[in-house]
Structure 1
Amino acid sequence: MANKKFENIPLGVLDLAPINKGSDAAQSFKNSVRLAQHVEELGFSRLWLAEHHNMPGIGSSATSVLIGHIAGQTERIRVGSGGVMLPNHAPLVIAEQFGTLESLYPGRIDLGLGRAPGSDQATAYALRRTLHSSGDEFPQQVEELQNYFSENPKGSVRAFPGTGLDVPLWLLGSSGFSAQLAAIKGLPFSFASHFAPDYTMQALQLYHQNFKPSAALKEPYAMVGVNVIAADTQERAEWLATSSQQQMFALMRGMPTHFQPPIDDLEAVWSPREISIFKEKLASESMIVGTPDVVREKLRNFILKTRANEVIVNSQIFHLEDRLRSYSIVGDMMD
């Protein structure tokens, strides 16, 4: 089945490989495989996995390993990182890992790069053994990584496999820094509107205004992330949305947990301020929650406003069948 589109825009999937309360990583990975096979049949363009660390509710910390597992269990859908947090790694290692993935699954691998640690400072130190490597060095790290993939890399160090392979690089961001860097380097840009909606339009404007054509890309190409929780009734969609909101509140409190089931009585669990934030999120453009008609209208408006070339959909839902149903609802909207 060819990739289908909504409003002439390809739709992708962001999977955080949630580890549910009462479950484990092994089940999370089985769920990710089932999700990938499901959205592949629906015609979604790509599925990306995100690097996070020291978070009991997210299972995609060894991102490249999980990408290989998902790619091996699917046939056509592109699989990639959304993203690999480059300051946590030596660029040579990432070149070798994704060179290996591209060699195994040619033409199906994406390498999205972020400059945040994907964790707290203590965890960043545990990953790097130093905090001297920071987001400030991100442009140089991207340049080094590009060199390893080039046909004629400079220097005596080569990435095998990696050298000469066509692994599409994307820069990811939640502010203007990566937007400007992607523009200057002529790379596709993906903005994390699903958790930084206030900066979306500013970042996209910076990207388009500063874009310089490159061998990789002749014109700007921007993807935006959006949360979508779709169900057959509005009440059920809003109930399902309480799981992702619990995850956000746990992070805000600095106490990340396993992914929690939906809750019935908000007042018994959340403070008045948190209930207010939840209701504000339900009304925002970055979290589309509702019936097929509601989702269709809000997703169309989101695309019209951002003028995105592509949208990547994050549906953090506790029960797998509800999650598959949410993506089915969105998939049914595609041409």
Structure 2
Amino acid sequence: MKLKLGILDQSPTTMGGNAASALKNSINLAVWAEEIGFHSIMYSEHHGVEAYGSSSPELLAAIVLSKTNRIKVGTAGIMMRNYSAYKIAEWSKMLSTLYPERFILGLGKAPGGLKDAVMALNNHKPVVLSNMETKLEEIIQFIREEEGVYDGLIAQPTHVQHIPEIMWLGSGMTSAREAAKHGVGYSFAAFMNSENGKENTDAYLREFDATQYFPKPSLQVAVALSVADNIEEARRNAYGMAYQFLQSRQLVSPDAVLSPEVVEQRVLGTQDEEEFFTVLNRIMIETPQSVDQKLHQVAERYNTDDLLILCNMYREEDRINTYKSIIKNNK
């Protein structure tokens, strides 16, 4: 089975680099990814951190759609608590009209940043956390031009021929069941929580309501991966990404991707050492000879052919080599 491979691009900045370089790398990566045969590329949303260059995945997606012809491009995801359902529906319909069947609207419930950034995004008003599913319902109503909470209000452009594919991002059972209930796709973040992953994705596939947004389920699984010529090199290349994961777990604003040497200086012999290697062990560490088999094992476990690959590395050439290895060996 040939997999539908996608890239989860967080536009990572690196130690000594800047956001401008990270964004340039993202655009170059997308153009190259289409040429080499990737199925999709998705952009994340982060605010108030130097680790990631892009705070506006919808803008980056629009730019990349204009520079490519085939590859599906989307958001992974829009952090819904920071925006109105109406505005999300408007620009989603616009991108779907301009680029039919190529735009994917990935939506997430996470804050997208630490407290100060989230407060600033919401005009310094307390964020209501309990209405995310309601907001999803409103987005669907606006996209499908159904009667909803604002009867008679349209979201331009209207009468669209192609509505955007919607992916509901999550790592738990609640998100899986919400996606199934509303008939939208489900993107499971296995790199964040793989312990009960199959239970969650099985529930999504089993409970999917084909009478809602889309007639059949669309399950995507996102994994973190590092590939190099030997396991030790692949493991060290993943140090910077693992350290970012560790900082996020500790609710600390992640640093730009650090070199393996700097990461070792920061964690070895400290109270963070054990937790760092626990996080690192959750990243798939492979060689070009082993990666295809391991990705197929992931696909078989979750009963999907759609895998989204996250790879943040200190050297951009190492990130490119990881993506090159997985597409070259996808059979």
Scaled by the length of structure 1, the TM-score of the pair is 0.90
CA distance in 2, matches of 1:109, 1:162: 17
Check whether the contact 1:241–1:262 (CA below 8 A) recurs between aligned residues.
Answer: no
The question of 1:95 aligning with 2:89 is answered: yes
Q: Is the 8 A contact 2:267 2:276 kept in 1?
A: no
Counterpart in 2 of 1:291?
Answer: 287
Deviations 1:89-123 (A, max 9, x none): 00111112222222332221110111121222332
Query: What is the count of residue pairs matched by the alignment?
Result: 326
More displaced 10-residue stretch of structure 1: 198-207 or 23-32: 198-207
Q: Contact 1:124 / 1:131 at 8 angstroms: preserved in 2?
A: no
SS at match of 1:69: helix
Contact 2:41 2:72 in 1 (8 A): yes
Matches within 5 A, 1:59-74: 59-74=53-68
CA distance in 1, matches of 2:321, 2:300: 25
1:327 partnered with 2:326: no
Rounded Cα–Cα distance in structure 2 between residues aligned with 1:220 and 1:107: 16
Aligned partners of 2:96 and 2:103 also within 8 Å = yes
Correspondence for 1:276? 274
Does 2:318 match 1:310? no
* CA distance in structure 1 between the aligned counterparts of 2:171 and 2:326, rounded to whole angstroms: 24
Larger deviation, residues 123-132 vs 73-82: 123-132
Preserved CA contact (<8 Å) 1:98 1:162: no
**Quick check: 1:38–1:324 contact (8 Å CA) kept in 2?**
no
Alpha carbons of structure 1 residues 281 and 115: separation in structure 2 relative to 1, 3 Å:
closer
> Which of these residues, 226, 249, 271, is aligned with residue 246 of structure 2?
249
Counterpart-to-counterpart distance in 1, 2:315 and 2:127: 41
CA distance in 2, matches of 1:50, 1:306: 23
Q: Which amino acid aligns with 2:234?
A: A
Task: Summarize the Cα distance change of 1:20–1:248 in structure 2 as closer, same or farther, 3 Å threshold.
Answer: same
Residue of structure 2 aligned with 1:141, choices 135, 138, 141: 135
Question: Cα–Cα, structure 1 residues 28 and 279, in superposed 2: closer, same or farther, change >3 Å?
Answer: same
Deviation sequence 1:187-237 (CA, Å, 0-9, x none): 111111111222312211221232221254333321111111111222221
1:104 has 2:98 as partner? yes
Residues of 1 paired with 2:263 and 2:45: CA distance?
Answer: 30
Q: What one-letter code is carried by the residue in structure 2 that aligns with 1:263?
A: P
| Worse overlay, 160-169 or 92-101 | 160-169
The alpha carbon displacement at 1:307 in A equals 1.6
**Equivalent residue of 1:119, what SS?**
coil
Could you say what secondary structure the match of 1:147 adopts?
helix
SS in 2 for 1:264: helix
The 1:178–1:253 alpha-carbon spacing in structure 2 relative to 1, beyond 3 Å, is: closer
Percent of aligned pairs with the same residue? Answer: 27
Going from structure 1 to structure 2, the CA distance change for 1:260 and 1:275 (only over 3 Å counts) comes to: same
Query: Under a length normalisation based on structure 2, what TM-score does the superposition of the two structures give?
Result: 0.91
Q: Once superposed, what is the RMSD of the aligned Cα atoms?
A: 2.0
